[in-house]
Chain A
Amino acid sequence: MAELALVRPRAGRDQRIMQGALLLAAGFLALFLLLPLAWLLVRAFQDAEGAFVGLANFAAYVTTPALAASAWNSLWVAALTTLLVVPLAFCFAYALTRSRIPGKPFFRAVMLLPVLAPSLLPALALIYLFGNQGMLRGWLLGHSIYGPIGIVLAQVFYCFPHAALILSVALAGADGRLYEAAAALKVGRWRMFTTITLPSATYGLVSAAVVVFTLVVTDFGIAKVIGGQFPVLATEVYKQVVGQQNFNMGAVVGIVLLLPAVGGFLLERWAQGRQAGVLSGRSVLYAPAARLARDVPLLLLCLAVAVALLSLVGIAVWGSAIRFWPYNLTLTWANYDFGRFDSAGWDALLLSVRMAGLTALFGTAIVFLVAYVLERGVASGPLPALVRFAASMPLAVPGLVLGLAYILFFNEPLNPLGFLYGTLAILVLNSLVHFYTVCHLTAVTAIRQLDPEFESASASLKVPVWLTFWRVTLPICLPAILEILVYLFVNAMTTVSAVIFLYGPDTKPASIAVVHMDEAGQSSAAAAMACTILAVNLGLKLLHLAMGSAIERWTQGWRRR
């Protein structure tokens, strides 16, 4: 046969652009995620001078009673919180999706409130209520709020929205025909619940439990503020690194912190594989009928949750405006005069806003471009697989561990990128990478809803791919992009653990200032600072809602039929 020579495709301009972007993405994720983590791993096997010491650090870790105890403490506190939060969140989500209670939008909004506040805010509020000068101290029957009780209570508040959100998504998509079929077979309500509802929510339950457990194990702020003398992993790693400058032991604790997260990640993957698609194209959406025996208790539960969430935030706001808790309850702005408590003063908040703004801007651009190139560029080969893997990894890496990896990696004298250390840029990069995965998944979901032939169509019309990206992909995905933007901003504003190792004297974010002021005994000022963070986030969220509907009208007119 004549022409069996292999065809060597000539890459067009579009493909070269996509390839280039993919290379940049791979380089970015390698430099700011994979290499720092690899370096963390290496450091765990070295001594302070950089000599290889095998498992000596791990041996030292296991035989240091305080360290081993902190691991155990972290575990049971996280387990207890998970046991409290997941059932509560399930009932709440069930009420939002499977009942006919009134005021669902209100409950939904209240549910998300804790996400907008730093995790320190509930801890501070609890101290106002149950601390040494607390108004309701008697309720604890002589126990101290400083320690496991305080940690668990504050964590329940802080983790609730995460679990409730996951579960309400899991419960939202129910196939009404299954319930009709069951009713036709005269199946009782309880059996319907255990044979239809629960199985369809299994993945959501596993996922929520994993998320809550990981959040608790890796959260630094709450344990720091309300943990008292109760050692947990997160505070221990801080002590090792910042207190004792023992970076190698810090790396070991970091790896230990990584274990539950990675385990949870794998567990979630497993559950995901077992979860059959809940909704097919032909499903009929389940619409609950009114039933008082179900709706009244659920409404009461939702009200109780809403009251608890709102009052905890309310206490923090009120406490921040009180002259001298609890002896002089007159209102004052004095606690907001941050300059009196912390040299950075209001600049800390400004810095936080700048950091969150930059994270949101760059993060959204990077996340969306990378997701686009992965979905619409060259799909096969090792490079896309590597980038895809790296993009899903930050979800399993606690902020504290990532921060630790950064400090080790960028502080390394040999690293040419060392100049980043202590700058705003490293804070931005760290937050961006830390919150990467959720944004990536949002972007991928949005892009997958577009016709896969858009790029082919535009190539056949000889329109360059970037023009189609600009004229078609971006406008259609604008709602998802705004979603990512707000998510990054809000999280960068509130994060403590991702930046605790990385801020410099001139780059102290507000969330860190809260920790410092609390450490210095200025808990009213700390609460005030936490409230300003909440206010900024609340403002942005409201702006998003208002702008969102305007932008919707302006760019999404084509969706209307």
Chain B
Amino acid sequence: MLDLLAARPPGPTYLTVEHVSKRFGGFTALHDVSLSVGAGEFVSFLGPSGCGKTTLLRAIAGLDMASSGRVTQAGRDITALPPAERDFGIVFQSYALFPNLNVAGNIGYGLRGAEWPREKARARVAELIATVGLEEHAQKYPSQLSGGQQQRVALARALANRPGLLLLDEPLSALDAIVRQRLRTEIRAVQKALGVTTIMVTHDQEEALSISDRIVVMNAGRIEQIGSPETVYRNPASAFVASFVGRSGSFDATVEPLGRLRAGNMSLGADAVASLPAGAAARAFIRPEDVKLGPAAEAYPGAFMAIVGGIEFLGPVCRIHLLVEGVTLEADVPSDQMAGLNLANTARVLVAVPADKVMAYPHG
């Protein structure tokens, strides 16, 4: 694999998942999944709906146990332990706040027993309420809080016992876009301040890219790639990752000698296929921001002509749809440079793609 190194955490390992599979009756939801998470690391599980993210998270939590494989946490084999004997806090997608207990009651719910005498528990609750900024709402019931406030209560409740591991199952998916963005930075800040090892499940790639130390990309019960956000974005390990993470135009092509790709009459230099045999089928992906247009393309040797098939205004950039010999490409142009390019539908424009920016994978 391209970045085998990234499959291991940078620091000391806190949690390992080895060859874990999970079957529901005849259906296999997880196929031989292995990964490890470093102490204090923030790892995201990213993948389309139904790919097994929640299943993997619940196997780590012990809420639904793995069918086979091994999970160790802080050197302890926890594979078969019931959840109550493990050390984690979890935030559910629905938050699962107890509706008949107020904010303080929810946060302090797990602070009981000899370890938490009344006074100590009360002080801890007050501290957590301050951490998540809900001082004014301590006596309110969940139904009286906004979605974002409920989310903070759930987070505080999960952190109350000072767990070694924090699990978040799509913690932000029930919120609107603006609150999501604010809360995800807050979650990251709290996580960094406490240094708690954290795993977050999400199907929102922007969320995963923006706050994770590393991302685990999953598809159909398998891990496709593990790596830093930049690696996953810049060097996708598979066609699936290339299409799922980030935006790209894609097309089928044939490998030509000397590291070139041919699609119809278009021929492109592509470093990624240098090691593939000539004549092999491949699927190529090109990110819109990597496509050069007009004067910017002139400097590149393999520049070719394309026809503008449509222009989308996206605010800071405009996305240009390009037709080349039956292949569709996308290019992003900063909005303020649009006037200079003189683009219009059906206009012809010079296009170039740097050979090191073409992502290609053997196909079929």
Binding site for B on A (CB under 8 A): 1-15, 451, 453-454, 456-464, 468, 471-472, 475-476, 555-561
Question: When A3-B18, A3-B69, A6-B67 are in contact, do A461 and B110 touch as well, CB less than 8 Å?
Answer: yes
Task: Pick the contact of A463: B61, B112, B141 (CB < 8 A).
Answer: B112
Q: Which residues of B contact A464 (CB under 8 A)?
A: 84
Closest residue on chain B to residue A5 by CB atoms: B68
A3-B19, A3-B70, A7-B67 as given contacts; A460 in contact with B80, CB under 8 Å = no
> Is B88 engaged at the interface, CB distance under 8 Å to the other chain?
yes
A12 in contact with B67 (CB, 8 Å): no
- Docked pose: A11 CA to B81 CA in angstroms: 8
B317–chain A nearest beta-carbon distance, Å: 36
Q: Show 30 A/B contacts (Cβ-Cβ < 8 Å), sorted by A.
A: A1-B32, A3-B70, A4-B69, A6-B68, A7-B66, A7-B68, A9-B65, A9-B82, A451-B94, A453-B92, A453-B96, A456-B63, A456-B90, A457-B96, A458-B109, A459-B82, A460-B158, A461-B89, A461-B109, A461-B161, A462-B110, A468-B98, A472-B100, A476-B99, A558-B99, A558-B143, A559-B99, A559-B143, A560-B143, A561-B143
Contact A555 B100 (CB under 8 A): yes
Q: Which residues of A contact B21 (CB under 8 A)?
A: 4
A7 in contact with B109 given A451-B94, A472-B101, A476-B100 (CB within 8 Å):
no
In the assembled complex, which residues on chain A have CB atoms less than 8 Å from the CB atom of B79? 7
Min CB–CB distance A237 → chain B (angstroms): 45
CA distance A459 to B32 in the complex (A): 27
Q: In the complex, what residues of A have CB within 8 A of residue B260's CB? A: none
State which of A7, A8, A11, A476 has its C-beta within 8 Å of the C-beta of B82.
Answer: A11
Residues of A within 8 A of B82 (CB): 9-15, 459
**Chain B interface category by residue count:** 35 or more
Chain B nearest Cβ from A300, distance in angstroms: 43
- Contact for A1 among B19, B63, B80, CB less than 8 A: B19
Contact A462–B161 (Cβ < 8 Å): yes
A6 to B20, CA, bound (A): 10
Q: Determine if A460 and B88 form an interchain contact, defined as CB atoms under 8 angstroms apart.
A: yes
**B83 and A460 within 8 A (CB):** yes
Alpha-carbon separation in the docked complex, A454 to B94 (Å)? 10
Q: Which residues of A contact B157 (CB under 8 A)?
A: 457, 461
Chain A residues with Cβ below 8 Å from B90 are 456-457, 460
Specify the chain A residue showing the minimal Cβ separation from B109.
A461
- Tell me, in angstroms, the Cα distance from A556 to B143 when the chains sit together: 12
Q: Of A4, A15, A556, which contacts B68 at CB under 8 A?
A: A4
B residues at A contact (CB < 8 Å): 18-19, 21, 32, 61, 63, 65-70, 79-85, 88-90, 92, 94, 96-102, 109-110, 112, 141-144, 157-158, 160-161
In the complex, A6 Cα to B67 Cα: how many Å?
6
Which B residues lie within 8 Å of A463 (CB)?
109-110, 112
Name the CB-closest residue of B to A476. B100
Query: In the docked arrangement, what's the CA distance between A491 and B364, Å?
Result: 69
Shortest 10 CB-CB contacts between residues of A and residues of B: A12-B82, A461-B110, A453-B96, A558-B141, A459-B83, A9-B65, A457-B96, A453-B92, A460-B90, A451-B96
Give the Cβ gap from A11 to chain B, nearest Cβ, in Å.
Answer: 7
A466 to chain B, nearest CB (A): 12
Determine the residue in chain B with the shortest Cβ distance to A16. B82
Give Cα A11–Cα B83 distance, bound, in whole angstroms. 10
Do residues B63 and A459 form an inter-chain contact, with CB atoms below 8 A? yes
Bound-state Cα–Cα, A452 to B68, Å: 25
Query: Which residue of A3, A459, A561 contacts B144 across the interface (Cβ within 8 Å)?
Result: A561
Chain B residue contacts of A556, Cβ below 8 A? 100
With A460-B88, A460-B158, A561-B143: A453-B99 Cβ-Cβ less than 8 Å: no
CA distance A456 to B92 in the complex (A): 9
Q: Which residues of chain A come closer than 8 Å to B68, judged between CB atoms?
A: 3-7
With both chains docked as a complex, state the minimum distance between the C-beta of A243 and any C-beta of chain B, in angstroms. 55
CA distance A460 to B167 in the complex (A): 10
Partner among A4, A459, A558 whose Cβ is within 8 Å of the Cβ of B84: A459
Question: How far in angstroms is the closest Cβ of chain A from B198?
Answer: 14
User: How far in angstroms is the closest Cβ of chain A from B18?
Assistant: 6
Shortest CB-to-CB span from A450 to chain B, Å, is 8
CA distance A123 to B70 in the complex (A): 71
Q: Which of B61, B80, B100, B158 contacts A558 (CB 8 A)?
A: B100
B86 nearest CB neighbor, chain A only: A460
CA distance A15 to B84 in the complex (A): 11
Q: Measured between alpha carbons, how far is A508 from B183 in the docked complex, in Å?
A: 67
In the docked arrangement, what's the CA distance between A6 and B19, Å?
11
Q: Which residues of A contact B18 (CB under 8 A)?
A: 2-3
From residue A518, how far is it (CB to closest CB) to chain B in Å?
A: 49
Bound together, the chains give a CA A471 to CA B67 distance in angstroms of 33
CA A431 – CA B29 in complex, angstroms?
46
Give the CA-CA distance A339 to B59 in the complex, in Å: 69
Q: Closest A-chain residue to B163, C-beta based? A: A460
Q: What's the minimum C-beta distance from B139 to chain A, rounded to whole angstroms?
A: 11
List residues of chain A with CB within 8 A of the CB of B110. Answer: 458, 460-463
Chain B residues near A4 (CB-CB < 8 A): 19, 21, 68-69
- Minimum CB–CB distance for A187 against chain B, Å: 39
> Are B94's CB and A453's CB within 8 A?
yes
Please, how many angstroms separate the alpha-carbon atoms of A457 and B92 in the complex?
A: 8
* B18 and chain A: residue at smallest CB distance: A3
Chain B nearest CB from A496 CB (Å) reads 41
Chain A residues whose C-beta falls within 8 Å of the C-beta of B89 in the assembled complex? 460-461
Q: How far is the CA of A18 from the CA of B41 in the complex (A)?
A: 36
**Chain B min CB distance to A74 (Å):** 46
B83 contact from A8, A12, A454, A555, Cβ within 8 A:
A12
Which of chain B's residues have a CB closer than 8 A to the CB of A462?
Answer: 84, 110, 161
